Structure 1
Amino acid sequence: MRILAASEPSKADKLNEDWFSASPNLVVVLDGATARTDTGCIHGVSWYAAQLGAAVSAQASDPSVALPAALATAIKVVAEKHPDCDLMSPGTPSAAVAVLRRTPSHLEYLVLGDVGIILASDSHLSVIIDDRVDKTAQAERREADEYPIGSVEKADALIRMKHAELAARNAEGGFWVSAADPTVVSHAIVEAVPIETVTRSVLLTDGAARLVRMFNNVSWRGMLDLLENQGPSEVLRRVRQLEESDPVALQWPRNKKCDDATLVYVAEPR
């Protein structure tokens, strides 16, 4: 088995709000949600993602614990670490989560939020991304996309978009992510596939997925081949190159020029 990983913050002088851990039997990747409003928390998104990631990894390392139960317990554990913060705030720190766990017979996975998992063999490829957040605040998203990054109009539109997103976060008809309420795990995508049906897998945040989903630079299988032949750092290098080629987001409308980007690639033994 080969495990390769890379993670970069959006800027060298900013905290990375992604988080990952990787071992032969368990991979966990988190993408902390960008805060554009008051969070009611003194710790910040990077702290939250790191605390939740460590707790998920600890809970899910026990194969007898179902992945939703592991995530639910982890959410509780982290909530108990900062009880003096306003965990009922609409903007309380949150994160998208993906977990991939190996058992003797299956690969089990959980996805909550827009962290993706790619599972592939020579003849088959599955892309698991919870994109429900993309279906919320659509009018506000379209407005924000009209303005260049760095403009006052863009900044104001992003605040309006964030408020609309937060109104739909962890609400029926909206989207679901880990925050302070463990009951959200009932909305996760959870499945197990026979281990012999997967030869390569990738867990990646939406910043890394930009190479395929936003820039259309390669296909998903092309990304897998790039990872196999040149490694995850080359994927992130290409993402940054494309972001820098369109600094104000006129060619590829987006909320920020660069995003935190993380991916973990696992090649199964043959």
Structure 2
Amino acid sequence: MLIQLATKPGSVNADNEDCAACNPRAMVVLDGLTARTDTGCAHGVAWFAERLATSILDHSHLDPTEALRAGILHTAGLHARSCDLTNPATPCAAVGIVKIDGDRLRYLALGDVTIVIDSGTNQLAISDLRVNKTALAERAEADALPADSSDKAAALIKMKRAEIAARNTPGGYWIAAADPSAADEAITGEMPLFAVRRVAVLTDGAARAVDPFSLYSWRGALDVLTNDGPRELISQVRAAEESDPLGKLWPRNKISDDATVIFLDRT
């Protein structure tokens, strides 16, 4: 069994708000949600994502839902006295967890991290895309503006405020922040380990290789990971981003996004 990991920030001028961690029994990938408004936290999204990923992995002997719950509780405790965790924009992250538990593979997705499981004949892609159903008007307005528009930044802030209003609320979307009950809203599942050939966990910045860039199908993306590794897949995503510097071909909030992949190959 081979496990490979790669991560690359979207910009050399900003922290990488993705974080990944793994051990022989578990893989954890987090995608911190960029803060465009005040968060009430002195530490920042990258700090939060790193500590939450570490804590989830520390609890990887538990079921993925319980590991996430414990990780959220622990991380909240690290800055509850210094930061306002009741702020609706408190640092948060999308989460993907894969655990090998005896003869079973268990998975959890909360937010738009994507888990791809390959049986050899079929590929199952799991991602929680409820956030895409929020702030629809504001998202369309921001997407319609090219990256060099003077109105782009204001449109993105407007979109973020509308998203925050729907965050961790019934009918909205759920994300790992300061409330451990969000773990109960995750997409979870399991399957026999013998039926699993390859597994990839990707932040949305890396999953751009499939959607929206259409460089590959999921099978094709897994083949790149098998033959050339996660760094190569991320490099190809970067090349596609650079070919569309104003986001006109592929409208997107970030021209270049943080990108992270953990890849497990059992062949």
Question: Under TM normalisation by the shorter chain, which class is it?
Answer: over 0.9
Equivalence map 1:153-192=2 (5 Å): 153-192=151-190
CA offsets 1:87-110 (integer angstroms, 9 cap, x no match)? 011110000011101022100111
TM-score, structure 1 as length reference: 0.97
User: What amino acid does structure 2 have at the position aligned with 1:40?
Assistant: G
RMSD over equivalenced CA pairs, Å: 0.9
1:57 aligns with 2:57: yes
Give the % identical residues.
47
1:69 aligns with 2:66: yes
Partner in structure 2 of residue 35 of structure 1: 35
1:2 aligns with 2:9: no
Distance in 1, matches of 2:264 and 2:163, equals: 33
Q: Is the 8 A contact 2:30 2:96 kept in 1?
A: yes
Distance in 2, matches of 1:208 and 1:81, equals: 29
Runs of 4 or more, structure 1, over 2 Å off, are: none
Task: Please state whether the residue corresponding to 2:252 is helix, strand or coil.
Answer: coil
Partner in structure 2 of residue 128 of structure 1: 126
TM-score, structure 2 as length reference: 0.98
Distance in 1, matches of 2:227 and 2:74, equals: 40
Moved more, 5-14 or 218-227: 5-14
CA offsets 1:68-104 (integer angstroms, 9 cap, x no match)? 1111111111111111201011110000011101022
User: What amino acid does structure 1 have at the position aligned with 2:192?
Assistant: P
Distance in 2, matches of 1:253 and 1:195, equals: 38
Task: Please state whether the residue corresponding to 1:263 is helix, strand or coil.
Answer: strand
What count of residue pairs does the alignment treat as equivalent? 266
Partner in structure 2 of residue 25 of structure 1: 25
Distance in 2, matches of 1:27 and 1:218, equals: 23
The Cα of 1:152 is off from its aligned counterpart by: 2.2
Q: Which runs of 5+ in 1 are unaligned?
A: none
1:117 aligns with 2:115: yes
Partner in structure 1 of residue 91 of structure 2: 93
The Cα of 1:24 is off from its aligned counterpart by: 2.3
Partner in structure 2 of residue 199 of structure 1: 197
